[in-house]
Structure 1
Amino acid sequence: MAVWVQRAPGREVLPLDVRRVALILLSGRGEEGLEPLLNLAVPGVDGVLRAAAGVSGRALAGPDGARHLAGYDLGLWLRPGETPLVGLQPTILRAAAVRIPLPALVPVHYPVGAGEITLLGLEPRWISQAAGGRVFLPVPIESDRPPAADVPAERDDLAWAVLYRALQALTTGDRRQGLQMLDHIYRQVYGKNQSLTALVVRNGLAAALALGERPWQDEWLRRAGPFTDYGELRLLWALIPYVRGDLETAADRLRRVLTEREEDRSDGLISGGGATTYRARTFLGRALARMGDLSGAVTEWVMALRVGPDYLPPLRELARLRIHADVLNRMELQYFWIGRSRAAVELVAAIYARSSDPAQAAPILAARPDVKLPADLRRAVQGRGDRRQKAPVRGQKGARSGGRAPKGPGIVWEGPLFTLSSLGRVNRELAAHLLALRWDLGGLPTEPDGYRPDADGRFRALADRLWHRPDRPAVWVRHHWPPKFEPPPAGRLVVILPWEFGPLPSDWLPGIAAAEEVWVYSHWVRRGVIDSGVDPDRVHVIPCGVDPEVFRPGERPPAGAEPFRFLYVGGTIGRKGYDLALDAFLAEFGPDEPAELVVKDFGSETFYRASSGIGTVREAAEATAGSARRVRLIAARLDDAGLAGLYRGTDVLVAPYRAEGFCLPALEAMACGTAAVLPAMGPALDYAPEGGALLVPAQEVALGSSVGGFQLAAPGRACQVSLAELRRAMRWAFDHREEVWEMGKRAAAHVHARFTWAHAARAAEARLQALLSRQPGTRTP
C-alpha cells in the first residue's frame, strides 16, 4: 500500500492519501506475454489482476469498470502484447495515483507499416473507484498489435474515441480510407480544438510516412506548420528524410531534436512520451546503422534504454547484432532484464547468446526458465554451438586467396577492427595483411563497427572473417583499450599495449607475466615496459605503417601560394600537444602574416569527449576569421583519401606531442611528402629520417607515480618541447618553404621504403613464427 505525502508551504510533511494501484490484464490471444508481470515486482504497482474471461476494454472503460478493481483504488488496464513505459522509477505511476482522482486518458502507440513508426491513440486506460470526467496523463503504453475491435467508449466527442476507428483502418483495414478519415476529422476540428488538431496531424503524417504516401506526406507536413514546437511532430519532421533514404540529413535532424528538448507543455498538446528522448535516439541509431556506423548506433540504443528501459525497440535492434561481451557489460546490459517482461528478458538473453561470450546468458536463462531462445542460441549458451561464420573469403588485394589453404596455425585477433580509432586502424591493417600472407585469422571485434567496409575494398576479406574461429587457434592477439590479460580460450596470448606514459600500471604486471609476448609500437614504449620489470626478451616492437596507395606524394601548390599552411591532426587533448601548436602559432605570427593553422580534430564527440579542447580551437578560429593569420577547424569525418589530400595540401605538419605511442599522423603526413615538426624525443625517433623532419629539442618530464588514475610501476614520463623552440621551428618553416618541401620528399622516400603496413605485417609474422617455433602446440608458463 502506498502512503502519499505532500509538503505544504511553511509546514512539515503531511499525510495526503493512501491508494492501492493495480495492473489489470485482459485475457486473450498472446496473453502469455504478460506472465512475468504476475511474478515480478512492477515499479509503482501494488498488485496485478487478471480480468475475468470475456471482460473487454469497453467494459473496463465504462461506468461499471470500477467493480473489477477487486479492492484496489486505481487500475491501469492492458491488453496482451502491451507494455506500460514506466521505466525503472515508480514516480510516473505513483504520480498518477496522486494527481488524478478520476479515470484518465493515456497515450497508446500502435505499429503501422513496417512498425518503426507508430500511430498515437488516446484511451481511457485508468479506472478508479471515483467517478467523474476524464483528464490526460502521459503514461505511454506500447502495443505490438493493432487496436482491438471493441471501441472502448460510447462518446464520440473525445479525442481518443474520434481517432480510434481511423487508427483501426490504418493498421488493419483500408489504409487509404484511414488517411481519408483523418483528413475528415482534421477539417472538422481545425480552428476549434488545438490539441485534437495537432494529434490528428501527428497521426496523419506518421501514417503517410509509414505507408509511403508521398502526396499525403506533403499535405500533412503543410498542416503541421502551426505546431513546429510540438515534440511528436518534430520527431516526424526528422524522420521524413529517414523514410526517403537521406540518412545523413535524418541523423542531423534527429540530433537537433535531441539537443533542443521541448519543455513541459502548457498548451494542451498531447505527448506520446519519448519523442525527444528514447524514440528519437532509437531512430538515430537506426539511421547510423544504415550508414554503417554500428558503434554510434549501439551508443544511441543504449542511451535510449537508459531513458526508457521498458522500451523494447532498442533491445530488438541490439539483438540483431553480434557484440563483444565486454561492450555489453560496459553498457550494463546485464541489468536491463531484471524485473522486465519476458519479451525484454528474451532479447537480453539473445544479445548475450550472440556475443563473444554466450555463457553469460546462462544465468539469465537459469533465473527465468520461462524464457525461450532459438535452438542455435541455446546451443551456443551451452557451449555446443558452432560460433564460426561460414562466409566465403574472396581472393583480392589485401586478403588471402580463397583458393589457397592457410599456411600455418590459426590466429584470433581481438580488438576494434572497423572503427575510426587509431587502434582500429592498426588492427585491421595488420590483420588484413596477415590474411594476405595466408594465415588462418579470425577477427573478434571488441567494438561495434564504426563504418562499413567497401564491398570491393581490400578489407572485404577481413570483414568476412569477423567472428570466425580458426580450427587451430595457436595464438590469440589482443589489442584494445583497456587491455585484457585473462587467459584466452585457446592459444598463446600476445598483448599489444596502447600506452604512452613510460612505466606501466602496476595492476597490469601480473597479467603481462602470463602473456607469451608483449608487442609495442615503438622503442619509446618498449623502454617503459622494460622499466616496469618485464623481461626485455618478451617485449617486441611492431611499428605502425601507411597504405602507400593512399598516402603518397602529390602535386604541390606554387611556390608563392598563400597562405602558408600548418596542420595539426589528432585529438584536441593535452597529451597530443594541440595547445602547444595553437599557442605557438598565435604567438609567433602576426595578424597580417599569411599563415594558417588547420586543426583536424578526432574523437571530440566520442572517445575524447570528456577531455577535448575543441572549444578553445573553435574560439580561436572565430577570433581570427577576418585576418590573414587564421585558425581553421575541421571537425567533419574524413576518409583516408580525404585525409591524404589534406596532408598533401599542407606545407608542414605540427605534432608537438607530450606522450604518444607512435604518432601515426606524422608518418602519414611524411608519406604524402609533407615534412613534420616533431619533438626530438619519443616515438618519432624510430621513423623520422635525418633531413626529413624538423625535430624540436625536448626534455623528459616526470609525471609522478600515477597517471589517469593508474598507479604506475615506476614514475611515469613524458616529453616536453619549449614554446620558444616550437615557435622558432615554425618560423623557420614559414621562411623556408622550398627547403621544407625538399625535406618532405626525403621523408616520403624513407617512409615508403621502410614503414608501410606490409613492412609492419612482416614484422608481426616474424614474431608469430618465432613464437610458434619455440614450443609448438603448447603455451609458455
Structure 2
Amino acid sequence: MEHKFDSDIKENKEYTETNKKKVGRLCFVAAFTSPTFSGRVASELLLATRALELPVSASDRKTYLHTKDFYYAPYITKVLERPDSGRFRLWVSLLNDLPEKIEKGKMLVVTAFDPFSYDKKRVVALKNAVKVWVPSEAHLKACLKEGLAAEKIEVFPVPVNTRKFHPRVVCPDNLKPQEGVFRFILSASPINRKGIEEVLYAYIKEFKPNEKVELLIKLTHYPNLKKNLAFEIQDLKKKTGALNKMFAKVRIITEIMPDKEYAGLLASSDAYIYAGKTLSSSITVKEAMACALPVITHQNAAEVFGLQNEYAYIVPAETKMAKPETIYSQSSEMAVLEIDKQELAKAMRSAFNNPAKNSKMGLKAQRFIKTLPDWKDFASKISTVVKNR
C-alpha cells in the first residue's frame, strides 16, 4: 500500500504540519553507512517497517566507522533520498553517540551501553525521550537507578534476521578454512575495548603452529596511524603481521562485506569469541549463534546477553581501570572488564578438543535464537508508540 505522503514526495510537493501529524511520519536517525550497532539495528528496523502502515524517512549520520561505499538494501537507499523530516525522530545509537540534549516529546531512542560502567549524565538525559528501548534487564536497572520512569523504558533484546543468518549459508570460496581446520572467529573494530589483544594472547599461548586451527579476526579496518586515535590498537597490523611466521595461524579480514558473505564467514566457523571490555548490545554474538556457533565469552557478557552454559563457554573476568581516552573518544578514566586470558585459553582448547560437543552446543545456540522475537515484532512496538501519540 502506498501512503499519500509517499506519493506526494514523488511529486515534490510540500507538506503542512497538519499533514505530517495526520500520517505520524517517523524519521530514523542512525549511522546507516556503518557496520555497527547503529547501522545494523536501524537498517533491520527500517526494512521491517515496510509491512506496517507507517510512513518513514531517514537521516544518515557519519560516525567513527562511516564507510563511503557501504552496502545496504535498495529500499534503504530510497528512504534516505526522502526529506529527513517527521513528527518523531527515532535515534538508533549507542549511548555515547546520542546528542547530549534530548528534545522533550520528540524523540524515541533505541540504545545500548555498558550497564556496569556508563556516563550517568547521558542516561539521565534519556528522561526527555518519549520512549526508550534497551537490550537487557541490566540496562533497564541502570536506567531506573538514574531516575527514568519505568513506563518510558522497555526491554527488547536485539533480534537476528534468521533468513540471513543461519548455518546453511555458503561461505565464499576464498574465505573458506582449509579442510579439517577448526576455526575460531571474532568480529570487531580495531579498538581497545573489543578485547582483541587478550584473545590473541590466549590463542598463541595455547595453540602450536602445527595444529589444525585458525583464529579469524573480522576487522572493520586497520587503525589509521595518521589519526593516532588513543582508543585504537595502533600497532595491531604490525602485531598480526608477525604472528603467522612463528605461531598458530591467524587470519585477518578487513573488507566491509554484505550480510550474506559475512553470514557465510560465520557459518564456516566453529566457535565465536566475545571478549569485550565494555558491554553494549549482543548483535554480533547473536548473529553468530544464529549460524549455530557456540560462544566463548566472560561471565559479565553472559549475564547481560542472557547466555547459558549449554551453548556458551563462560570464563571469569576482572575489573580494571582504563586510562582516559583509551576506551572512547574523550572518555575519562573508567572501569572496564578484562577476560581471564588463561581461562579463555582453556575454553578455546576445550572447544577444539571436543568438536562433537562443540557442534551440539552450536545447535542449541541456534535453537535459542529462534525463540526470540524478530525485527517485525520490534518494529511493531515502535509503530504502536508513534500511532498512539
Range moving further from structure 2, 406-415 or 658-667: 406-415
Aligned equivalent of 1:741: 359
- Which of 134, 140, 156 pairs up with 1:520? 134
Change (3 A) 1:506 1:671: closer
Contact 2:24 2:386 in 1 (8 A): no
Other-structure match for 1:647: 266
Normalised by the length of structure 2, the TM-score is 0.78
Q: For 1:408 and 1:476, locate their aligned partners in 2 and report how far apart those are by CA, in whole Å.
A: 14
Q: Does the 8 A contact of 1:517 with 1:539 survive in 2? A: yes
Q: Which residue of 2 aligns with 1:615?
A: 235
Distance 1:487 1:676, change over 3 A: closer
Describe the shift of the 1:555–1:483 C-alpha distance in structure 2 as closer, same or farther (beyond 3 A): closer
- Cα deviation digits, residues 238-295 of structure 1 (max 9, x gap): xxxxxxxxxxxxxxxxxxxxxxxxxxxxxxxxxxxxxxxxxxxxxxxxxxxxxxxxxx
Could you say what the CA RMSD is over the residues aligned between the two structures, in angstroms?
3.8
- Structure 2 counterpart of 1:446, from 61, 85, 108: 61
**1:637 partner amino acid:** I
Residues 560-598 of structure 1: per-residue CA shift (max 9 Å, x gap): 953322112112322111111100001112233222211
The reply to whether residue 679 of structure 1 matches residue 293 of structure 2 is no
Pair 1:467–1:498, CA change in 2 (3 A): farther
- 1:542 corresponds, among 143, 156, 178, to 156
Amino acid paired to 1:538: K
Within 5 Å, which residues of 2 pair with 1:260-279?
none
In 2, the alpha carbon distance for the partners of 1:491 and 1:461 equals 28
- Tell me, in whole angstroms, the C-alpha distance in 2 between the residues paired with 1:771 and 1:700: 40
CA distance in 1, matches of 2:283, 2:186: 12
Is residue 2:90 matched to residue 1:477? Answer: yes
Higher RCO (CA-CA < 8 Å; seq separation 6+): 2
Structure showing greater radius of gyration is 1
Q: Which residue of 2 aligns with 1:731?
A: 349
Are 1:417 and 1:427, in contact at CA under 8 Å, matched by a contact in 2? Answer: yes
Q: 2:190 aligns with which of 558, 563, 572?
A: 572
In the alignment, which residue of structure 2 is the partner of 1:721?
A: 339
State the identity %.
18
Q: Does 1:465 align with 2:84?
A: no
**Structure 1 residues not aligned, in runs of 5+:** 1-385, 393-405, 777-781
Measure how far apart 1:741 and its partner are.
0.8
Q: Which residue of 422, 429, 432 corresponds with 2:44?
A: 429
Matches within 5 A, 1:351-366: none
Residue 461 of structure 1 and its aligned partner are, at CA, apart by 2.8
Structure 1 residues 536 and 698: alpha-carbon distance in aligned structure 2, compared to 1, 3 A threshold:
farther
Find the aligned partners of 1:547 and 1:580 in 2 and give their Cα distance.
Answer: 30
Q: Any conservation in 1 of the 2:277–2:336 contact (CA below 8 Å)? A: yes
Q: Is the 8 A contact 2:219 2:253 kept in 1?
A: yes
Is this contact kept in 2: 1:388–1:469, CA < 8 A? no
Q: Which of 257, 281, 303 does residue 662 from structure 1 map onto?
A: 281
Distance 1:584 1:437, change over 3 A: same
Report how far residue 533 of structure 1 moved: 3.5
Q: Distance in 2 between matches of 1:719 and 1:736?
A: 28
2:201 is matched with 583
Aligned with 2:53: secondary structure? coil
Out of 104, 109, 131, the position equivalent to 1:495 is: 109
CA distance in 1, matches of 2:350, 2:218: 23
| 1:107-154 deviation digits (Å, cap 9, x = unpaired) | xxxxxxxxxxxxxxxxxxxxxxxxxxxxxxxxxxxxxxxxxxxxxxxx
1:173 counterpart residue number: none
Instruction: Note if contact 2:302-2:308 (Cα within 8 Å) is conserved in structure 1.
Output: no
Query: Partners of 2:24 and 2:209 in 1: how far apart?
Result: 62
Residue in structure 2 matched with residue 697 of structure 1 by the alignment: 316
Instruction: Note the alpha carbon deviations across 1:39-77, whole angstroms, 9 max, x for none.
Output: xxxxxxxxxxxxxxxxxxxxxxxxxxxxxxxxxxxxxxx
1:720-768 C-alpha deviation (Å, 9 max, x unpaired): 321121111111011101110111111112213315xxx2442353255
In the TM superposition, what are the counterparts of 1:28-67 in structure 2 within 5 Å? none
The answer to whether the 8 A contact 2:27-2:56 is kept is: yes
**Displacement after TM superposition at 1:701 (Å):** 5.2
TM-score normalised by L of structure 1? 0.41
Residue 740 of structure 1 aligns to which amino acid in structure 2?
A: N
CA contact (8 A) 1:703 1:718 kept: yes
Shift of 1:679: 1.4
Tell me the CA shift for residue 513 of structure 1: 2.7
Question: Does the CA-based 8 Å contact 2:223-2:234 persist in structure 1?
Answer: no
Deviation at 1:528, TM superposition (A): 3.3
- State the Cα distance separating 1:552 from its structure 2 match: 0.6
Q: Which amino acid aligns with 1:478?
A: W
Check 1:422–1:721 CA distance in 2 against 1; reply closer, same or farther (3 A cut).
same
Contact 1:621 1:632 in 2 (8 A): no
Partner of 1:632: 251
Q: Aligned partners of 1:460, 1:682: CA distance in 2, in Å? A: 34
- Opposite residue 750 of structure 1, the aligned amino acid is F
Give the 3-state SS of the residue equivalent to 1:638 in structure 2. coil
1:502·1:716 contact (CA, 8 Å) conserved in 2? no
Q: Is this contact kept in 2: 1:389–1:465, CA < 8 A? A: no
The alpha-carbon distance between structure 1 residues 665 and 470, as it changes in their structure 2 partners (threshold 3 A), is closer
Distance of 2:277 and 2:187 partners within structure 1: 14
* Displacement after TM superposition at 1:551 (Å): 1.0
The 3 A distance-change label for structure 1 pair 687 and 540 is: same
Give the match for residue 417 of structure 1.
32
Structure 1 residues 506 and 732, CA gap change in structure 2 (3 angstroms): closer
Q: 1:701 to 1:434 in 2, by over 3 A?
A: farther
Query: Contact conserved, 1:655 with 1:676, CA < 8 A, in 2?
Result: yes
Report if the CA contact (8 A) 2:294-2:361 is conserved: yes
| Kept after mapping to 2: 8 A contact 1:503/1:528 | no
- 1:538 to 1:695, Cα distance in 2 relative to 1, 3 A: same
Alignment gaps of 5+ in structure 2: 12-20, 172-177
Deviation at 1:517, TM superposition (A): 2.4
Cα deviation digits, residues 605-629 of structure 1 (max 9, x gap): 57997233373355344332466x2
Instruction: Give the 4+ runs in structure 1 shifted more than 6 A.
Output: 386-389, 606-609, 702-707
Query: What letter corresponds to residue 294 of structure 2 in structure 1?
Result: A
Residues matched between the structures, number: 361
Quick one: distance in 1 between partners of 2:41 and 2:352? Answer: 33
Q: CA deviation at 1:507?
A: 4.0
- Pairing of 1:200-211 with structure 2 (within 5 A): none
CA distance in 2: counterparts of 1:593 and 1:509, whole angstroms: 47
Conserved? CA contact 2:117–2:336, under 8 Å:
no
Amino acid paired to 2:316: P
Instruction: Report the counterpart of residue 98 of structure 1 in structure 2.
Output: none
User: After superposition, where does 1:161-240 map in structure 2 within 5 Å?
Assistant: none
Which one-letter code corresponds to 1:675 in the other structure? P
For the 8 Å contact 2:194–2:278, the answer to whether it is kept is yes
- How much has 1:556 moved relative to structure 2? 10
Three-state SS of the structure 1 residue aligned to 2:368 is helix
